[in-house]
Amino acid sequence: MITLNKDNGAHDVTIKYAEKALQKFGNPIGAELGIAWGGGVEAIGKLWKGSEGIIYGFDTFEGHPRHLSYSQNAHEAYCMQPQYDGYGMDKLSIEYQQKQLDKQNLKNVILVKGLINDNSFKDAGITELHYCLLDLDMINPMTLAWTLVRPVMAKGGYLCLHDVTPREHIIGLWGLYQEILATGEYRLVVDNPKSYIVVLEKL
């Protein structure tokens, strides 16, 4: 499985905080929204395998739902196209990814196919999270994802936000990051513009 954020360094950050969640909570519940080729959830599945921790991976498994972009001409709508061109679309499918997870007996990785909606967490049975990565690239899906995460993030849990830094990277995402900080519900622990990653800890 392909770990897309390995190239920019964000994967090293997210796996570090997935490990911290394991140490802090023992049997963590996590979710990644926007998993692309699945390398991130695969790595966390391996990391948490000796515990009863579970990592959920949400994705369309078909590529970006560009119709959800605020503009079909916006950078957010086509920012993944170079990766699709480079890696191909076949290994994006949920069937392929599930097969790879099954080969490794990673039963603690649960893939959820479809667009994020108001009931995504409810339907998956998620009532609490200790680790979460939001990496949906587009402002509308990212905003909806935040509304799902907000009521279920446990105190001390880690919320990772990709593509929200630096300010000019993807229009709108930095603003969402600032809105989350302004709630006063989180402490900033990482802001790494070179890797486009932010990590917040729930107070």
Q: What is the pLDDT of residues 139-174, one digit of tens each?
A: 999 999 999 999 999 999 999 999 999 999 998 999
Can you list the positions of beta strands (E) in the chain? Answer: 29-33, 54-59, 109-113, 129-134, 153-162, 186-192, 197-202
Q: What is the pLDDT of residues 28-77, one digit of tens each?
A: 999 999 999 899 999 999 999 989 999 999 999 998 888 878 888 778 77
Q: Please, which pLDDT band fits residue 97 given cuts at 50, 70 and 90?
A: very high
* pTM for this prediction: 0.94
The pLDDT-based confidence of 81 (bands split at 50, 70, 90) is confident
Nearest to 193 by CA among 3, 13, 2: 13
For residue 19, what are the contacts with CB-CB under 8 A and spacing of at least 6? 47
pLDDT at 132 over 80: yes
Question: What confidence tens digit (pLDDT) does each residue in 166-176 have?
Answer: 999 998 999 99
